[in-house]
């Protein structure tokens, strides 16, 4: 049985080892924790379909492969299936026979469209389909076999004002209908509404405002026209055509996407490992100091306080020096080739990267301060308790 002197010698040595490892894990946590936690917070923004990953991909389509983008853009209107217009009239009294009529024909429509969405900006045009497309590529399926039913909501919103103004101009320029023409159009009764998408003349005094009085807004009319034009597009067919038209460029594009996928997958795997190791460091801090409340409060308080402070410091640094984010590409060949467009891409997701730091860094900072304050009062109360016991 060990005597009292051995116990007295062992206690300081055990306490010293516990303190050494507590400080070690605290330093490791502070070295990795803020960056790993911050990267975890913005991982969705950085790596998912709505963040930099998607923005880079879309930018690459337009900027690095202008001809492929132009071919895609030019082919889209002419590749609309014949049955696109089927079902348009199910929920409306306006069956659309020629959706291009308000624009003066298909050619005029394409001219108006190109003014809004130039071919080199095709990544905007693909805003709502690129995610599904790349999810298909990520699954390893061949590019030429992508079956998609697409709704171009972003392009619709940008085109609605053009549709409305074109439709109003078209109707205002129509001749006034004769009684016979009104009868042929089925407009014998007062309040009957003409089909603005197919009428060759207009009732006297008729404008789109008449439809709004009947509960049919200009916005709804524009939506109907655009649905009829861009309702279904087979992206696989378009990509297949592009591949046949320029196989070499298409293969380069395919290789680029594969490289990007590998680069981001590797980054996600490394982040997962660092998340596990950082969590292990914090857990060891708690385990080593679990037997002493003041010690636990001290190390946990400093860990959370400094971690929150460093996260806020990172957010502040990025706020004042957003271009610094481009350093993420250094040493990664797959990402270095995108360095020239990264600043613009980062600008599009800027607040999505700053906001998580404010929402998480601030509570960690405050909780750390509270724990340190509690620890201060707990430790200052100890001598009083000792005197009372004595």
Which has more confidence, 52 or 204? 204
Distance from C-alpha of 298 to C-alpha of 302, rounded to nearest angstrom: 6
**pLDDT score, position 41:** 65
Tokens of 25: 């894990």
Contacts of 315 (CB under 8 A, 6+ apart): 38, 354, 357, 358, 361
Which has more confidence, 201 or 76? 201
pLDDT tens, position by position, 242-293: 455 556 655 665 565 566 556 666 766 777 788 788 888 888 888 888 777 7
pLDDT tens, position by position, 114-149: 555 444 333 333 333 444 444 444 455 444 444 333
**pLDDT score, position 115:** 55
Distance from C-alpha of 3 to C-alpha of 65, rounded to nearest angstrom: 81
Distance from C-alpha of 100 to C-alpha of 106, rounded to nearest angstrom: 5
Tokens of 330: 């250094």
Distance from C-alpha of 112 to C-alpha of 163, rounded to nearest angstrom: 10
Half-sphere CA count of 320, side-chain side, radius 13 A: 5
pLDDT tens, position by position, 29-81: 888 877 777 777 666 555 443 444 444 444 444 444 444 444 443 433 333 33
Structural domain spans, the chain? 4-50+249-389, 80-233
The model carries a pTM of: 0.42
């Amino acid at each position: 049985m060990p005597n009292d002197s051995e116990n007295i010698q062992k206690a300081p040595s055990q306490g010293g080892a516990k303190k050494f490892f507590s400080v070690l894990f605290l330093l490791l946590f502070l070295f990795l924790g803020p960056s790993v936690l911050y990267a975890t917070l913005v991982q969705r923004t950085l790596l998912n379909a709505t963040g930099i990953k998607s923005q880079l991909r879309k930018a690459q389509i337009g900027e690095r492969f202008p001809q492929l983008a132009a071919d895609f853009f030019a082919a889209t209107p002419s590749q609309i299936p014949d049955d696109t217009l089927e079902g348009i009239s199910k929920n409306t009294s306006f069956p659309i026979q020629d959706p291009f009529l308000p624009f003066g024909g298909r050619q005029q429509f394409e001219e108006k469209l190109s003014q809004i969405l130039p071919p080199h900006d095709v990544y905007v045009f693909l805003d709502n389909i690129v995610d599904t497309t790349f999810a298909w590529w990520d699954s390893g399926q061949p590019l030429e076999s992508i079956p998609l039913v697409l709704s171009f909501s972003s392009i619709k919103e940008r085109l609605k004002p053009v549709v409305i103004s074109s439709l109003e101009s078209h109707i205002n320029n129509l001749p006034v209908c004769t009684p016979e023409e009104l009868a042929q159009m089925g407009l014998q009764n007062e309040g009957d509404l003409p089909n603005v998408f197919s009428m060759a003349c207009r009732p006297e005094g008729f404008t789109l405002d008449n439809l709004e009085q009947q509960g049919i807004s200009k916005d709804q009319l524009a939506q109907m026209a655009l649905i009829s034009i861009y309702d279904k597009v087979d992206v696989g067919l378009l990509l297949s055509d592009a591949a046949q038209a320029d196989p070499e460029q298409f293969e380069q594009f395919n290789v680029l996407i594969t490289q990007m996928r590998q680069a981001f997958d590797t980054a996600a795997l490394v982040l997962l490992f660092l998340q596990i190791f950082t969590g292990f460091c914090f857990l060891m801090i708690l385990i080593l100091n679990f037997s002493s409340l003041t010690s636990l409060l001290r190390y946990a308080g400093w860990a959370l306080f400094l971690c929150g402070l460093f996260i806020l410091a990172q957010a502040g640094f990025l706020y004042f020096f957003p271009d610094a984010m481009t350093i993420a590409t250094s040493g990664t060949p797959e990402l270095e080739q995108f360095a020239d467009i990264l600043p613009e891409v980062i600008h599009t997701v800027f607040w999505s990267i700053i906001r998580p730091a404010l929402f998480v860094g601030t509570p960690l900072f405050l909780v750390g301060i509270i724990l340190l304050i509690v620890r201060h009062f707990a430790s200052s109360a100890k001598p009083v308790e000792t005197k009372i016991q004595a």
